């Protein structure tokens, strides 16, 4: 079972605010996932290549040809705040 | 305490000058109105899927081959997770443990001709972040930052070196020559000012002879090689001072202030290095066909470093000539054409000296001017066979720049051919007779006065006399030599 500090750390990295009850649920669910991973780790996997993709496809490449994108107006349509054609966000420096 | 040596490695981000972004069909841009080159993919709207730009892969391979990197038979993309407004997905698609280009080595040449070998750890593909401007917000620069996504998603190749550099000067030499190589490959504009090439340096110091690395700091955001060299120098000095006074260097990101020469610490973002990389499920592996890689290898242009060596060893240029000539692919092509027609060393002298000097006033490069490489070769030929003097050749060149006529035509039209020996001798005789005081000075051993005679002769002949011939004739007339 992972500890509360680890749960809070992961939640923080994911920008999630959890109350005590939620934290407890997450702790149990994450622990379950990690136990599953440990079970896999316990197996003899020598010579088994790691699977990063379940579909056996490679080299899906696109030609370097420009396509019409969004107008500035459309690009900014969902912005919470706009300043001179740019998205405004909380000051970051 | 034993002596300390600096240990430096660099990370270089190179924006590829492809027509479209890394994972969508938007055209990357610099200087356009904000947010005019975006689409649902590079704005990270829900439900969109990235597709890899094949040309970016090709250019990454070209870079890897030029750096002698092992090309991965199969490489994959990873998500690098962090929250920042310049990254709309909250992760950057990058590469982690299986980059497209693995270990390699780059050899630069120092001014004294010695080799500077730098191990390449890797070169991988990723996407650029958007442009975030602080204090540009509506509330009078108080609390707003603004984001322009035009740059977001531009293809980048990140080149990481081993900590093989031992001085700020070497670091600058390596970066300049790496940049030159990338320019020859035609993969990027490599403009430090516009940010299409960016370099960060990892700096640490350790006792000479030690094999373990000291604690490093990361020097960020240098927009010129000069500042980077100074910044690394300042950071080395700062670390030496800390250690000399018994302290410990903190692992942190630092910034060099060019105006004050000071190093400042950037506030370290909490948990900023916990990127939780995992394989990008939206992209399948890239497995470059070995035949394709071999074709790219065979198509590599001659690169500036080997070329520089060849210019010195095979063509008799000086290290300095070679450095100037390999300044750009265009200048190399120009020089090579001239050098195929006349003495290479003389061609190099005229191209890097007089030609560039005269063209500078017009704001032109040799290959944009009226002067063709064949003209340069012809001019060198006219000098070699004594048709024109050096001062006259400069005038011939000015004439070619003006008219585009070939040098022989300019010589003819402007009467710039070298005077015949008898005529010149007569003129020198007249000058000596007309200036008895100066002649006496020469007899008294005041050799400086020779300049006066040469000047007079040039004036009388309109520059059509060779200064050395004039000197010999003056000596003969005055001293009977
Ligand atoms: Zn896009």
Strand partners, B262: B257
Task: Find the B290 Cα to ligand 1 centroid distance in Å.
Answer: 30
Q: Which tens digit of pLDDT belongs to each residue from B129-174?
A: 999 988 755 554 446 889 999 999 999 999 999 999 999 999 999 9
Task: Find the B193 Cα to ligand 1 centroid distance in Å.
Answer: 24
Domain count, chain A: 1
E strand spans, chain A:
61-62, 82-83, 86-90
**Which of A61-65, A88-92, B177-181, B255-259 shows the lowest mean pLDDT across its residues?**
A88-92
Where do you find CATH 1.10.10.410 in chain B? 421-479
Contact by Cβ (8 Å): B110, B173 = yes
Q: How far apart are CA A45 and CA A49, in angstroms?
A: 8
Q: Which of A76, A60, A87, A61 is nearest to B20 (CA)?
A: A61
Task: Find the A66 Cα to ligand 1 centroid distance in Å.
Answer: 9
SS3 letters across B85-151: CCCCCCEEEECCCCCCECCEEEEEECCCCCEEEEEEEEEEEEECCCEEEECCCCCCCCCEEEEECCC
Interface check A90 vs B, CB under 8 A = yes
Contact by Cβ (8 Å): B152, B89 = no
CA of A11 to nearest chain B CA: how many angstroms apart?
12
CATH number of B421-479: 1.10.10.410
Q: How far apart are CA B416 and CA B395, in angstroms?
A: 8
Q: How far is CA B345 from CA B65, B303, B321, B339, in A?
A: 31, 20, 9, 8
Q: Which tens digit of pLDDT belongs to each residue from B190-233?
A: 999 899 999 999 999 999 989 898 999 999 877 889 999 999 99
Q: Which of B427, B473, B467 is nearest to B451 (CA)?
A: B467
Q: Which tens digit of pLDDT belongs to each residue from B318-337?
A: 988 998 999 889 999 999 99
Q: How far apart are CA B318 and CA B324, in angstroms?
A: 10
| pLDDT of B185 over the 90 cut | yes
> Which parts of B340-372 fold into alpha helices (H)?
344-350, 356-360
Domain that holds residue A26: 4-42
- pLDDT band at B270; cut points 50, 70, 90: very low
| pLDDT of B266 over the 80 cut | no
Is A9 part of a structural domain of the chain? yes
Q: How far apart are CA B176 and CA B269, in angstroms?
A: 31
> Which ranges of chain A have pLDDT less than 70?
93
Is A21 part of a structural domain of the chain? yes
SS3 letters across B149-199: CCCCCCEEEEEEECCCECCHHHHHHHHHHHHHHHHHHCCCCCCCCCCCEEE
Contact by Cβ (8 Å): B277, B288 = no
Contact by Cβ (8 Å): B202, B8 = yes
Strand A86-90 relative to strand B91-94: parallel, antiparallel, unpaired?
unpaired
3-state secondary structure of B7: strand
Strand partners, B11: B160, B200
The CATH number of the domain where A18 resides is what? 1.10.20
What is the enclosing helix (H) or strand (E) of B124?
strand B115-127
Interface check A62 vs B, CB under 8 A = yes
Q: Model-level pTM?
A: 0.83
Mean pLDDT of B87-91: 95
Q: In which residue are the tokens 């000067």 written?
A: B169
Tokens in use for B86? 């310049």
Interface check A89 vs B, CB under 8 A = yes
| pLDDT of B290 over the 70 cut | yes
């Amino acid at each position: 079972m992972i500890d509360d500090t680890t749960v809070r750390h992961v939640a923080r990295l994911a920008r999630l605010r959890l109350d005590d009850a939620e934290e407890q649920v997450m702790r149990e669910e994450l622990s379950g996932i990690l136990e599953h991973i440990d079970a896999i780790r316990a197996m003899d996997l020598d010579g088994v290549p790691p699977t990063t993709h379940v579909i056996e496809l490679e080299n899906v490449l696109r030609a370097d040809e420009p396509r019409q994108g969004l107008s500035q107006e459309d690009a900014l349509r969902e912005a919470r705040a706009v300043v001179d054609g740019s998205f405004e966000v909380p000051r970051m420096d | 305490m034993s002596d300390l040596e600096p240990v430096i490695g660099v990370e270089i981000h190179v924006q590829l000058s492809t027509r479209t972004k890394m994972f969508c069909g938007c055209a990357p841009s610099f200087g356009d109105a904000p947010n005019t080159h975006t689409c649902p993919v590079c704005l990270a709207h829900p439900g969109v899927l990235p597709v890899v730009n094949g040309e970016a892969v090709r250019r990454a391979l070209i870079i890897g081959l030029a750096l002698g990197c092992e090309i991965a038979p199969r490489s994959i993309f990873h998500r690098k997770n962090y929250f920042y407004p310049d990254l709309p997905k909250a992760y950057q698609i990058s590469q982690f443990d299986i980059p497209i280009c693995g270990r390699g080595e780059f050899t630069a040449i120092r001014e004294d001709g010695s080799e500077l070998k730098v191990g390449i750890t890797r070169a991988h593909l990723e996407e650029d972040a958007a442009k975030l401007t602080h204090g540009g917000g509506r509330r009078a620069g108080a609390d707003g930052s603004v984001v322009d996504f035009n740059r977001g998603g531009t293809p980048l190749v990140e080149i990481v070196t081993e900590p093989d550099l031992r001085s700020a000067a070497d670091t600058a030499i390596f970066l300049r020559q790496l940049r030159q190589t990338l320019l020859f490959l035609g993969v990027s504009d490599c403009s430090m000012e516009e940010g299409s090439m960016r370099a960060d340096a990892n700096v640490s110091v350790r006792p000479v002879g030690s094999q373990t690395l000291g604690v490093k700091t990361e020097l960020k955001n240098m927009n010129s090689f000069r500042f980077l060299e100074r910044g690394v120098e300042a950071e080395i000095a700062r670390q030496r001072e800390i250690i000399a006074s018994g302290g410990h260097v903190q692992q942190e990101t630092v910034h060099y202030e060019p105006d004050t020469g000071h190093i400042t610490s950037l506030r370290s973002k909490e948990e900023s290095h916990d990127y939780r990389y995992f394989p990008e499920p939206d992209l399948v592996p890239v497995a470059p066909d070995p035949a394709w890689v071999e074709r790219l290898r065979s198509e590599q242009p001659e690169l500036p470093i080997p070329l520089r060596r060849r210019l010195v060893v095979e063509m008799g240029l000086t290290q300095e000539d070679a450095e100037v000539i390999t300044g750009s692919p265009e200048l190399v092509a120009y020089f090579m054409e001239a050098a195929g027609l006349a003495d290479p060393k003389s061609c190099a002298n005229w191209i890097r000296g007089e030609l560039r000097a005269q063209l500078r006033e017009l704001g032109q490069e040799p290959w944009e001017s009226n002067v063709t490489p064949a003209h340069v070769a012809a001019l060198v030929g006219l000098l070699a066979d004594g048709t024109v003097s050096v001062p006259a050749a400069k005038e011939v060149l000015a004439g070619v720049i003006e008219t585009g006529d070939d040098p022989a035509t300019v010589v003819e039209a402007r009467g710039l051919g070298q005077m015949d020996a008898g005529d010149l001798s007569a003129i020198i005789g007249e000058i000596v007779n007309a200036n008895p005081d100066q002649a006496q000075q020469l007899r008294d051993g005041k050799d400086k006065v020779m300049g006066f005679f040469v000047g007079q002769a040039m004036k009388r002949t309109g520059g059509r006399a060779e200064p050395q011939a004039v000197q010999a004739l003056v000596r003969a007339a005055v001293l009977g030599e």
